[in-house]
Structure 1
Amino acid sequence: MICLVIQPIHPKGLALLADAGIETRLASAATMDVVANEIADCDAAITRNAGLNRAAMEAAPKLKVLGNHGIGVDPVDVVYASEIGLPIVFTPYGNVQSVAELVFAHLFAIEKRVREADAAVREGNFDYRYTRDFREVTEKRLLIVGFGRIGRRTADIAKAAFQMEVSVHSPSVPEADIVAAGFTPAPDLPVALKSADYVSLHQTLTDKTRGMFDAALLGAMKPGAILINTARGALVDPQALADAVTGGHLRGAAMDVFAPEPPPADHPWLTLPGILLSPHIGGATEEALERTAMQTAGQVVDVLNGRRPEYLVNPTVWERRRGA
């Protein structure tokens, strides 16, 4: 059996596949045209943010399972995969802690002006310490938008470590569940934005959430607030965020995700120092990469050996899956 690894994964995941007698083949490029040319004789594939489109699936008549390395599956044509009986496994817990930690790394970098302070010392401006532009995060107000696994972990850390007042906007989660978790429901998003010092995005990307943080919602945020996005780049309108930061309405923003990735050279955020950028590193810690690769590879092995995996994106296909 052969597994096409569309984008590199942790060596321990590759070793797990090898131990199961599965040959791994790294795609020569993570573009769908290349993948379509190299996937024809493969029994399995593992992808990360490159996804897998319909054309590539159509070129893979032997494909019995797709491993999605991570939580988000929007780059994968899940509808077509389900039509043809192709199970998609994913890893909903592998990167939770790492992404939640990045939220606070970004937050501290902005509130403590870490980048600016480093530059000041290197430029000989030690008096930068007198600018009075540094803030504590303890006991501030945090609004979580999207109460999935990462949103919940971020809320837990904020409350336990920094005694933050945490509110949650998540239409898909019953308010009773939010209260039971120890947080305050915020059903009216524009109202909640008015009092939040920090807003952290954790929603999935859908037609409804695409571009939801537009000029209107950004304008509803508390003056001097900070927006952090470790979820999906398309949740935020790029130009509207640029305007909100350069205009002084927001103290800053941090973006770990973009639409598309990588961002084009003319992306409005690339020239703005008020927006902290990172290249989708939330789940890229050594620990998260190892966990995610092992969980993905393990479930691919399960499917190829006829065992139902623990986490299926499309569970209804299991009984009618390819090769069953």
Structure 2
Amino acid sequence: MTKKQVIIVTGADLAPEALALLGDYEIVFAGKTPQTADIAALAKEHNPVGIIVRYGSLTAEVMDAAPALKVISKHGTGTDTIDKSAAQARGIKVAAAAGANAAAVAEHAWALILACAKAVPHLNDRMRQGHWDKATYRAVELNGCTLGIVGLGEIGRRAAVIGVAMGMHVTAFDPYATTVPEGVTLVDLPRLFRESDVVSLHCPLTEENRGMLNRETLATFKDGAILVNTARGGLIDEPALAEALQSGKLYAAGLDSFAVEPMPVPHPFRDIPSLILSPHIGGVSNAAYVNMGVGAAKNVLAVLQGVATPA
């Protein structure tokens, strides 16, 4: 019997629906938190034709350990953990499951916006400690405020539409956008930062926009603005954000991604009460888990069998 070709998954599991699509291949799981060296060792051992990336980084080292490798497929949308230049130089296709977790991430962005504006985590903690803060509680009413969306991909568009439904004035920056949702106005980035009461990041991380939120740009924000990031941690200069929150320049921030993940301990963010943190789970939901797995599997098959066009 002919030995099955191998596909490595840089994680401990994959949706059953995705595994069913890949039934003609042997699936090798790299574990819950694989490091680059672990993935490279598995690649050398199994010489996979495809790698589905859930966790960890795909470097030239990994690619060179797998001469048969033809496709790297992201279990999600962000491909910044894949060395795309190295892949291109080796003739390896890189694909992403575009839009597979868009609803989940947009919903989580709004969970963070509302948690910041209404101080939900703080109130929950106070209630559990026996306090009743009704007399002193104050909140931000979002109706009539300006929401600035950075990046109008599928996630940003969904977040923007929710903002319109909430009665907000919604502006957006995206140099590649050809259409915008009804009720959304395209503006330049300096104006968006300057005029927004809430800024929500939904753009990919590139070398051009790395650290785009730094001491200089944060200084241009409205006093008392809210910042939410469900995109990539590298977009933000973390010490600068900590300063802006501690000084009161920003009212609050909600972060789901960080420059280094998992977030190191100790970290200055842990001591800032106006900062709401979640461990990069914006794209995690029952539906998104299936959608991302199926999308990643289809992109693998598109390259290996020519059955579809990669996302």
Amino acid at match of 2:167: Q
Match of 2:39 in 1: 35
Question: Is 1:94–1:288's contact at 8 Å kept on the other side of the alignment?
Answer: yes
Equivalent-residue separation in structure 1 for 2:287 and 2:223 (angstroms): 37
Question: Is 2:109–2:200's contact at 8 Å kept on the other side of the alignment?
Answer: yes
Match of 2:262 in 1: 262
2:250 match: secondary structure: coil
Match of 2:163 in 1: 158
Q: How does 1:75-90 map to 2 (within 5 A)?
A: 75-90=81-96
Match of 1:74 among 67, 75, 80: 80
CA-to-aligned-CA distance 1:107-150 (integer Å, 9 cap, x gap): 11111111111111111111x12213223322321011122221
Amino acid at match of 1:166: V
Match of 1:132 among 128, 131, 137: 137
Q: How does 1:225-304 map to 2 (within 5 A)?
A: 225-304=225-304
Question: Is 1:51–1:68's contact at 8 Å kept on the other side of the alignment?
Answer: no
Aligned in 2, Cα 1:155/1:9: closer, same or farther, shift over 3 Å? farther
Question: Is 2:35–2:57's contact at 8 Å kept on the other side of the alignment?
Answer: no
Shift of 1:299: 2.2
Match of 2:184 in 1: 183
Question: Is 1:17–1:24's contact at 8 Å kept on the other side of the alignment?
Answer: no
Match of 1:144 in 2: 149
Aligned in 2, Cα 1:248/1:3: closer, same or farther, shift over 3 Å? same
Question: Is 1:44–1:65's contact at 8 Å kept on the other side of the alignment?
Answer: yes
Match of 2:27 in 1: 24
Match of 1:109 in 2: 115
C-alpha RMSD over aligned residues:
1.7
Aligned in 2, Cα 1:181/1:86: closer, same or farther, shift over 3 Å? farther
Amino acid at match of 1:124: G
Match of 2:99 in 1: 93
Equivalent-residue separation in structure 1 for 2:195 and 2:65 (angstroms): 52
Equivalent-residue separation in structure 2 for 1:48 and 1:13 (angstroms): 16
Shift of 1:50: 1.7
Match of 1:48 among 36, 39, 54: 54
CA-to-aligned-CA distance 1:197-219 (integer Å, 9 cap, x gap): 10001121112211110111111
CA-to-aligned-CA distance 1:168-217 (integer Å, 9 cap, x gap): 1223335xx34x74421211x33332321100011211122111101111
Question: Is 1:9–1:293's contact at 8 Å kept on the other side of the alignment?
Answer: no
| Unaligned stretches of 5+ residues in structure 1 | 312-324
Question: Is 1:201–1:228's contact at 8 Å kept on the other side of the alignment?
Answer: yes
How high is the TM-score relative to the length of structure 1?
Answer: 0.89
Q: How does 1:195-210 map to 2 (within 5 A)?
A: 195-210=195-210
Amino acid at match of 1:227: L
CA-to-aligned-CA distance 1:266-295 (integer Å, 9 cap, x gap): 332122121111001111111111111011
Equivalent-residue separation in structure 2 for 1:223 and 1:234 (angstroms): 23
Match of 1:4 in 2: 8
Question: Is 1:145–1:170's contact at 8 Å kept on the other side of the alignment?
Answer: yes
1:270 match: secondary structure: helix
| Unaligned stretches of 5+ residues in structure 2 | none
Question: Is 2:147–2:171's contact at 8 Å kept on the other side of the alignment?
Answer: yes
Equivalent-residue separation in structure 1 for 2:157 and 2:15 (angstroms): 30
Q: Percent identity?
A: 35
CA-to-aligned-CA distance 1:150-172 (integer Å, 9 cap, x gap): 1111111111x202110112233
Amino acid at match of 2:202: H
Amino acid at match of 2:75: H
1:129 match: secondary structure: coil
Equivalent-residue separation in structure 2 for 1:49 and 1:147 (angstroms): 25
Match of 1:169 in 2: 173
Amino acid at match of 2:26: E
CA-to-aligned-CA distance 1:233-292 (integer Å, 9 cap, x gap): 011111111111111111100110011111211332122121111001111111111111
Amino acid at match of 2:8: L
Amino acid at match of 2:37: D
Report the number of matched residues.
Answer: 304
Question: Is 1:17–1:23's contact at 8 Å kept on the other side of the alignment?
Answer: no
Question: Is 2:211–2:237's contact at 8 Å kept on the other side of the alignment?
Answer: yes
Question: Is 2:298–2:310's contact at 8 Å kept on the other side of the alignment?
Answer: no
